[in-house]
Chains A and B, each alone.
Chain A
Amino acid sequence: MQERRYLNSASEAAEQLKQWHAQSPDIKVLALVAEASKSLVAELQKQARDIDIALYGGIFPELVVDGRFRSEGVLLFSMKHCSAAALLPCEKSDVDADMLFNILSPNLSAEGGETLFLMLDSMVPHIASMLDDLYLKFADRVNYVGINAGSETFQPMPCLFNEESIMGQGVLALLLHKHAGSLLNHGYVISESSSHSATTTEGNRIVQIDWRPAFDVYRELVMNRFGQEITAENFYQYGVHFPFGLLRANGEVMVRIPVALTEDGSLFCVGEVPPNSMVTVLDAEQKLLSDAVSELGKSVAACGWSMPLTFYCAGRRMHLGVEAAEREIALLAEHVGKVDGALSLGEIGNMREGDCPLFHNATLICCEWDTA
């Protein structure tokens, strides 16, 4: 079992790093920093450099510590099986995937059983494409886990770091040796309303649905299905409650939360929407969502993972509210034990072990951490 510590001050964090380093000089550390405590990053980096310890981490809207949301502090996780790491700026999906593969693949073991742990700045616009390109390169040689870091306000900020530097618009990739991967679930379901084609999209921007301005169609869908009038004025209040879903023929759905509206009626989502994707507005009933959490907890427990590193989507919390979100986490904890992690801004993973990884919103993702 790897160690973890929630700390509130730089001095405590520095002392913890020193202690772990004294116990195991080769140890590496993953740091999840609450946005409100981002000033701790520089202190952590300095201490890591001083004692020559490898440090990797990200800044998230809030932390999840023992099942509760915390807006301050840092969660430190020791890692003994991180065989390689890379912190790179993102440019273009295939180029980024190539670079990551070139850096990490020499450390892939022949026997497999490794996990590619990705931490991305939520402002990177081509995360899903990069994931497709990574899957073309790594294929089934690794498990895939990923979360997006950054600010819940979606304001750009440097949010990924190692002991030397901190950057935005980038990716932090860790190759975890002998690691079981992750599982995620969300519970959002396809509404009874008809499906539509996102006829014009550009990355994470839906320009047209069924050849009409995306917002016009979105308003109609929400009104028809839920009776809620969405206007340009209340969009930011209601959008998170009526997310888009990308439908798959196998019945699964991927959530895309609309987060911004432009004057031409385009909608910006968290995550890319491929052109001509089948889209609809999803039902997000609290019970269904909770059932999904429970199901996830059971699956994780079935895998034998305890106290997984857990990320809870910030959009999901916005939809449910803090109390309901903490109840979901408590529900998860019933199955997996102590829940530590952070609020994330998009998640990468799969619902079943070995499935093709996809970029999701509004999920809980549990990452095995016993062997990290």
Chain B
Amino acid sequence: MNREHILTILYDITSTLSGEVHVEPLLTKMLQRLMFHSGCSAAVVLLNVPTEQMQIASVVGDAELAMHVGDSIAVSDGCLRWDSHYEESVEPLSFLPCRKECYKAFHCLDIPEQGKVLLLYRYLDENRLLLEKVLNPVMGNFAKQIDLCQLNDDQQKYLESLVASRTRELGQQKEMLSMLLESMAEGMYGIDLEGRFTFVNRAFLQMLGYERDDELLGRSSHEVMHHSHADGTPYDIEACRIYRSCQTGEGISCDDEVFWRKDKSSFPVEYHSFPIIDHGELKGAVITFRDVREEREQKEKLEHMQRLESLGLLAGGIAHDFNNILTAVMGNAALASARVDDTSPAKDFLKRIEDSSHRAADLCKQMLAYSGKGKFVVKPINLSEMVKQMARLMEVSIDKNVVIKYYMADNLPAVEVDTAQLQQVILNLITNANEAMQGVSGVISFSTGLMHADAAYLQSSMTQDTLPEGRYVFLEVSDTGIGMDEATQKKMFDPFFTTKLSGRGLGMSAVLGIVRGHKGAIHCYSEPGKGTSFKVLFPAVDMQAEPIVEQSGSAADAWRGEGTILIVDDEESICETAAIMLEDIGFQTISACDGIEAIELLKKHGDTIVAVLLDMTMPRMDGVECFSQMRRLQPGIRVMLSSGYNEQEATSRFAGKGLAGFIQKPYSPDQLAEKMKELLARG
């Protein structure tokens, strides 16, 4: 082998070394090239380790030795001392766990500061090349290459561990994000710059009626769910706000559009679009949205209820003032009528004044009912019994060709109601039902029962605030009349809204006011041309129902009183009317225009005053303060409160203070006489 051959071999081996960047393949390749050139059968690399021993780092060609790769071995001192060494015996390799019986010679090549290479020969070769000399320069390079590869391996290991750690962290973050995404109640989806879906969350699938995201991914979001306006007219993608915002990279919010479900139905949405910007490059957008249909309906309902409540306050105030006026009108007409001869031409006019006053009083009553400030004396009753008792009254209220059917439930729990107001509800409903028949034959049915009303059912009803879930007794009035369209249904509880030529539009408003006043609810179902059904619910109570007693007729008859009555009212006309009414039945009267004057009169005439007729709302000193001072002056004084508001509301501020009686304005001479009789009879 000439010098050129040797150089070529060195070049071959050096090239092999320089081509490797990891320790393990470097060692293997080196052994393979050394074996190829030396003709040995097996080879091993022993590397220095921080201990005193060496490590078997790589083995080729000896299966037994290969089983010890990675093991540390105690190398002989002789081996450690060899720089490069050839020996035709393997006895010096006693430390090596190989099949020594197979080998006749070995070559030890020193890897400077790194370890040793041992080449194991099965045959002795007389013409062998003195590799121990030839390869010395290569072994230096080999040592350096091992260092470089080791550094590279360490760096790679570090980077791999870093990558693994980051991958784990990213995985956790991804899992967390995925969990957040999937647990969101709001719908969320992503689109690329062409508007194609890149992801959707679970809420999206539920709201849009899809089962799996692969039904959507890659498709145009605009074409899938945003293709038309609420009225069904096409929504061009170029005009689409989401698409445009995705193109411009601007975030937008919108609450006046609809999204379209898989089943081609739509729902109103509020959505927000945020651009996805990756390293300064616009990639698409993320859109969050929610279905606002229910929220809007609730808001509309709340606004409607608030409007009705405001109107109720107004109606209540008006009714109160009217009642004051009507007290004077009705009273004076009655007094005048009593004082003229039956043959007098004025008698008829006075009668008309009285009738009109009563109709006006009825109107005020409805207005008060609507405002929730009507007469309010509750007691537990059986709703079925109540309906049965009113049967005759109802039958005379309807046309002859209309049949009433009753489906009354037995053993209903009691409901706490003001019977007079409940009667008003029933009469209003049957009056409406009868009018809905428009003179043609049909059926009006009454049914009662007990039901469990859940929150959803109550929310879909007309009611006040939020009613608790639970047992409710219901009365359902259904007719086979003309029914109502949606617009009519929306307005039917509005005061003064009517579909009748002669109606005042207070009937259903009053029903609503009364039901709300009883913490009940109304459910309406109506179809034009088919009929209407009103279901009125009252909370069931665990009380024994009281028997329903019919109102007694006038009882004052020829009763007469004596003594002085102190009339306290800032309305002069009421003072005058009440004084005449009371004087007509034998009383003397003195009047005061407010509380202060009343107290002075009581001090002055206290021993002659048998009772006080006291107004509630007055200037300078109102009824409450005046009553207190009177009770301090004369603890036994009998005071009857007179108000245009209902009894419960008016007397609530006198609870436990010894108020002797209440009379609601307007009142007739007979009603006043009756109340006085009751008051004075109590002693």
What residues make up the interface of A, taking CB atoms closer than 8 Å to B? 132, 135-136, 138-141, 194-197, 247-252, 274-278, 352-356, 358
Contact in complex: A249, B129 (CB < 8 Å): yes
Contact in complex: B32, A250 (CB < 8 Å): no
Closest to B42 in A: A140
Closest to B65 in A: A139
**CB-defined contacts of A135 to chain B, threshold 8 Å:** 60-61
Contact in complex: A278, B127 (CB < 8 Å): no
Does chain A have a CB within 8 A of B122?
yes
**CB-defined contacts of B164 to chain A, threshold 8 Å:** none
Name which of B4-12, B392-400, B458-466, B624-632 contacts chain A: B4-12
What residues make up the interface of B, taking CB atoms closer than 8 Å to A? 1, 4-6, 8-9, 11-12, 15-16, 19, 28, 32, 35-42, 59-63, 66, 99, 102, 122-123, 125, 127-129, 131, 134
How near does chain A come to B37, taking the closest CB pair, in angstroms? 3
Contact in complex: B11, A140 (CB < 8 Å): no
**CB-defined contacts of B35 to chain A, threshold 8 Å:** 356
Contact in complex: A250, B38 (CB < 8 Å): yes
Closest to A358 in B: B36
**CB-defined contacts of B11 to chain A, threshold 8 Å:** 197, 276
Closest to B131 in A: A249
**CB-defined contacts of B134 to chain A, threshold 8 Å:** 249
Other 10 A-B pairs with CB < 8 A, given A277-B12, A356-B36: A135-B60, A139-B60, A139-B61, A139-B63, A140-B61, A250-B37, A251-B129, A252-B39, A352-B123, A358-B36
Closest to A350 in B: B41
Interface pairs (7), CB distance under 8 Å? A139-B42, A139-B59, A139-B66, A250-B37, A250-B129, A276-B15, A356-B35
Closest to B43 in A: A356
Contact in complex: A278, B62 (CB < 8 Å): no
How near does chain A come to B133, taking the closest CB pair, in angstroms? 12
Known: A135-B61, A250-B38. A354 touches B122 (CB 8 A): yes
Closest to A252 in B: B39
Closest to B36 in A: A248
**CB-defined contacts of B66 to chain A, threshold 8 Å:** 139
**CB-defined contacts of B131 to chain A, threshold 8 Å:** 249
- Bound Cα distance from A274 to B61, whole angstroms: 19
How near does chain B come to A312, taking the closest CB pair, in angstroms? 25
Contact in complex: A140, B41 (CB < 8 Å): yes
Contact in complex: A356, B61 (CB < 8 Å): yes
Closest to B60 in A: A136
Closest to B16 in A: A276
Interface centre among B38, B40, B61, B66 (most CB of A within 10 A): B61
Closest to B6 in A: A249
Contact in complex: B28, A276 (CB < 8 Å): no
**CB-defined contacts of A194 to chain B, threshold 8 Å:** 4
Known: A135-B60, A278-B5, A356-B61. A140 touches B15 (CB 8 A): no
- Bound Cα distance from A247 to B10, whole angstroms: 12
Closest to A142 in B: B63
**CB-defined contacts of A276 to chain B, threshold 8 Å:** 11-12, 15-16
A140 touches which one: B12, B28, B62 (CB < 8 A)? Answer: B62
How near does chain A come to B440, taking the closest CB pair, in angstroms? 90
- Bound Cα distance from A197 to B9, whole angstroms: 9
Contact in complex: B9, A356 (CB < 8 Å): no
- Bound Cα distance from A358 to B36, whole angstroms: 9
Contact in complex: B8, A197 (CB < 8 Å): yes
How near does chain A come to B670, taking the closest CB pair, in angstroms? 115
Contact in complex: A355, B41 (CB < 8 Å): yes
Contact in complex: A132, B32 (CB < 8 Å): yes
**CB-defined contacts of B59 to chain A, threshold 8 Å:** 139
- Bound Cα distance from A275 to B39, whole angstroms: 19
**CB-defined contacts of A356 to chain B, threshold 8 Å:** 35-36, 39-41, 61
Known: A194-B4, A276-B16, A278-B8. A136 touches B28 (CB 8 A): yes
Contact in complex: B127, A138 (CB < 8 Å): no
**CB-defined contacts of A355 to chain B, threshold 8 Å:** 39, 41, 122-123
Contact in complex: A249, B4 (CB < 8 Å): no
**CB-defined contacts of A132 to chain B, threshold 8 Å:** 32
Contact in complex: B102, A354 (CB < 8 Å): yes
Contact in complex: B32, A196 (CB < 8 Å): no
Contact in complex: B5, A275 (CB < 8 Å): no
**CB-defined contacts of A358 to chain B, threshold 8 Å:** 36
Contact in complex: B12, A141 (CB < 8 Å): no
**CB-defined contacts of B12 to chain A, threshold 8 Å:** 197, 274, 276-278
- Bound Cα distance from A136 to B125, whole angstroms: 24
B125 touches which one: A138, A196, A250, A277 (CB < 8 A)? Answer: A250
Q: Which 3 A-B pairs have the closest CB atoms?
A: A249-B37, A250-B39, A139-B63
Closest to B98 in A: A140
Known: A248-B37, A276-B16. A195 touches B122 (CB 8 A): no
**CB-defined contacts of A195 to chain B, threshold 8 Å:** 4-5, 8
Contact in complex: B128, A250 (CB < 8 Å): yes
- Bound Cα distance from A195 to B2, whole angstroms: 9
- Bound Cα distance from A275 to B8, whole angstroms: 12
How near does chain B come to A125, taking the closest CB pair, in angstroms? 19
Contact in complex: A249, B38 (CB < 8 Å): yes
- Bound Cα distance from A135 to B131, whole angstroms: 23
**CB-defined contacts of B42 to chain A, threshold 8 Å:** 139-140
- Bound Cα distance from A275 to B128, whole angstroms: 24
How near does chain A come to B334, taking the closest CB pair, in angstroms? 116
Closest to A352 in B: B123
Contact in complex: B60, A251 (CB < 8 Å): no
How near does chain A come to B518, taking the closest CB pair, in angstroms? 85
**CB-defined contacts of B28 to chain A, threshold 8 Å:** 136
How near does chain B come to A59, taking the closest CB pair, in angstroms? 31
How near does chain B come to A175, taking the closest CB pair, in angstroms? 15
- Bound Cα distance from A276 to B7, whole angstroms: 11
- Bound Cα distance from A325 to B423, whole angstroms: 129
**CB-defined contacts of A249 to chain B, threshold 8 Å:** 1, 5-6, 9, 37-39, 129, 131, 134
How near does chain A come to B65, taking the closest CB pair, in angstroms? 8
**CB-defined contacts of B60 to chain A, threshold 8 Å:** 135-136, 139
**CB-defined contacts of A250 to chain B, threshold 8 Å:** 37-39, 125, 127-129
How near does chain B come to A101, taking the closest CB pair, in angstroms? 12
Closest to A354 in B: B122
- Bound Cα distance from A141 to B42, whole angstroms: 12
- Bound Cα distance from A250 to B105, whole angstroms: 14
- Bound Cα distance from A195 to B134, whole angstroms: 17
Closest to B103 in A: A354
**CB-defined contacts of B1 to chain A, threshold 8 Å:** 249, 251
How near does chain B come to A278, taking the closest CB pair, in angstroms? 4
**CB-defined contacts of B128 to chain A, threshold 8 Å:** 250
**CB-defined contacts of A278 to chain B, threshold 8 Å:** 5, 8-9, 12
Interface centre among A139, A141, A274, A353 (most CB of B within 10 A): A139
Contact in complex: B102, A140 (CB < 8 Å): yes
Known: A248-B36, A249-B37. A140 touches B8 (CB 8 A): no
How near does chain A come to B372, taking the closest CB pair, in angstroms? 88
How near does chain A come to B154, taking the closest CB pair, in angstroms? 24
B63 touches which one: A141, A252, A275 (CB < 8 A)? Answer: A141
How near does chain B come to A39, taking the closest CB pair, in angstroms? 42
How near does chain A come to B211, taking the closest CB pair, in angstroms? 41
- Bound Cα distance from A248 to B66, whole angstroms: 25
Closest to B134 in A: A249
Interface centre among B39, B123, B131 (most CB of A within 10 A): B39
Known: A249-B1, A354-B122. A140 touches B39 (CB 8 A): no
- Bound Cα distance from A107 to B63, whole angstroms: 15
- Bound Cα distance from A194 to B5, whole angstroms: 8
- Bound Cα distance from A275 to B16, whole angstroms: 8
Interface centre among B1, B36, B61, B102 (most CB of A within 10 A): B36
How near does chain A come to B669, taking the closest CB pair, in angstroms? 117
**CB-defined contacts of B122 to chain A, threshold 8 Å:** 352-355
- Bound Cα distance from A358 to B41, whole angstroms: 11
- Bound Cα distance from A200 to B208, whole angstroms: 63
How near does chain B come to A82, taking the closest CB pair, in angstroms? 21
- Bound Cα distance from A353 to B123, whole angstroms: 10
**CB-defined contacts of B127 to chain A, threshold 8 Å:** 250-251
